[in-house]
Structure 1
Amino acid sequence: MPFIKSKVSVPISKEQEKEIKTKMGKAIELVPGKSEHYLLLEFEDNCRLWLRGKQDDPIVYIEAAIFGNEPHYGYDAFTAELTRIFSEALQTMPDNIYVKFEDITAWGVGDMYIDRNQYR
């Protein structure tokens, strides 16, 4: 049950959003046990982001909240793929893309509640 939220400093067209969404649906499979089936995405464009004291180039900030992967398996490959996806889609320099991971140990979905601790 990953939730990936992205904030970018430039506009994202509907076509770019769909392209990024499709590629992220495949990229999440780099994290063991994760798939697009439960993937929730949020895109926020035209954000007022500053990096290194400047706003000249496109900037991307991504938060990825992932359930049940405290050992962080696949995060290196997933970060590299997210960087490639956003860099290509938005013509962003890779060093202007930052990814924050959040470990989720309990998550509710509709009428289902999952607590990772019950599996230990």
Structure 2
Amino acid sequence: MPYISTKTNIVITKEKETTIKEKLGKAIELIPGKSEHWLMLSFEDNASMYFQGKSDSGIAFVEVKLFGSASSSAYDKLTAAITDILKEELELAPDKVYVKYEEVSNWGYNGNNF
């Protein structure tokens, strides 16, 4: 049950959003036991954001939440994949992207909790 939320100060076209969605769907498999089948995504573009006191270039904040936990190695691989995807699709420099991970022990779905 992963969830990836991407917030950026640049505009994401529907075409780019679809491409990023597909690529994140594959990238989530870098976390053992996770797949696109359970992946939920959200995108917020054109947000008012500042990094290092500036907003004159593209920046992004990505939150990855998952039921359970993963190894540091798996998180390292996913961070690299996420920043590569955003660089390829949105021309965001990796040093302008934060990726936050949150491990969740209680996750509800379909009227029940896992």
Percent identity, please: 46
Secondary structure of 1:47's counterpart equals coil
- Indicate the residue corresponding to 1:21 in structure 2: 21
Q: Matches of 1:76 and 1:33 in 2, distance apart?
A: 16
Q: Which entry has the higher C-alpha Rg, 1 or 2?
A: 1
- Deviations along 1:6-46, one digit per CA (max 9) or x if unpaired, are 10100000000000000000000000000000000000000
Give the TM-score of the pair, scaled to structure 1: 0.91
Structure 2: unaligned runs, 5 residues or longer: none
- Deviations along 1:64-119, one digit per CA (max 9) or x if unpaired, are 001111544510000000000011111111100110000110101113311xxxxx
Q: Indicate the RMSD between aligned Cα atoms, in angstroms.
A: 1.1
The amino acid that maps onto 1:50 is: Y
Give the TM-score of the pair, scaled to structure 2: 0.96
Q: Matches of 2:110 and 2:98 in 1, distance apart?
A: 30
Q: Please say if residues 31 and 70 of structure 2, whose CA atoms lie closer than 8 Å, have aligned partners that are also in contact.
A: no
- Indicate the residue corresponding to 2:44 in structure 1: 44
Structure 1: unaligned runs, 5 residues or longer: 115-120
Q: Matches of 1:17 and 1:27 in 2, distance apart?
A: 15
